[in-house]
């Protein structure tokens, strides 16, 4: 379904810790929404609530939640983190995307 590489996972857990959030009570919510240069934008936030339409991905030391609509767009996608010279931050490798914008924050199918 959705995977997170080790560098991104460690950075997510570090961010949660900095914000005083526990991986026992909070989740990483990922999804997509309409907008951006290419039509769909990735969204990511911390959440402490599960909705009836959420899929839960247990990665052991953190749980990722995705609403059912977003699962269709994110299936097979990997969240990664870069701290290199060409930019720093999270980015997505989405095999379903037929086009992405220059900044990598939006895509289309």
Please name every residue paired with 40 in a beta bridge, in sequence order, or none if there are none: 34, 107
E strand or H helix that includes residue 66: strand 63-67
pLDDT averaged over every residue in the chain: 85
Q: What is the mean pLDDT of residues 3-11?
A: 94
Q: Where are the chain's structural domains?
A: 3-108
Would you mind telling me the total number of residues written for the chain in this entry?
109
So what's the architecture of 3-108 in CATH?
Sandwich (2.60)
Q: What is the mean pLDDT of residues 27-54?
A: 86
Q: Which has the higher per-residue pLDDT, 64 or 95?
A: 64
Q: What DSSP state is assigned to residue 85? A: T
Q: What is the per-residue pLDDT across 41-83, written as a single tens digit (0 to 9) for each?
A: 889 999 999 999 999 999 888 999 999 989 988 999 999 998 8
Question: Model's pTM, two decimal places?
Answer: 0.82
Q: Which of these, 91, 86, 94, lies nearest to 104 by C-alpha position?
A: 91
């Amino acid at each position: 379904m959705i995977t997170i590489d080790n560098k991104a996972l460690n950075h997510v857990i570090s961010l949660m810790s900095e914000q005083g959030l526990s991986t026992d009570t909070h989740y990483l919510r990922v999804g997509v929404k309409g907008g951006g240069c290419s039509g769909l934008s990735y969204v990511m936030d911390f959440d402490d609530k599960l909705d009836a339409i959420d899929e839960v991905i247990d990665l052991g030391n953190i749980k990722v939640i995705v609403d059912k609509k977003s699962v269709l767009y994110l299936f097979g996608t990997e969240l990664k983190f870069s701290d290199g010279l060409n930019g720093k931050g999270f980015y997505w490798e989405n095999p379903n995307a037929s086009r992405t914008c220059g900044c990598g924050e939006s895509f289309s199918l």
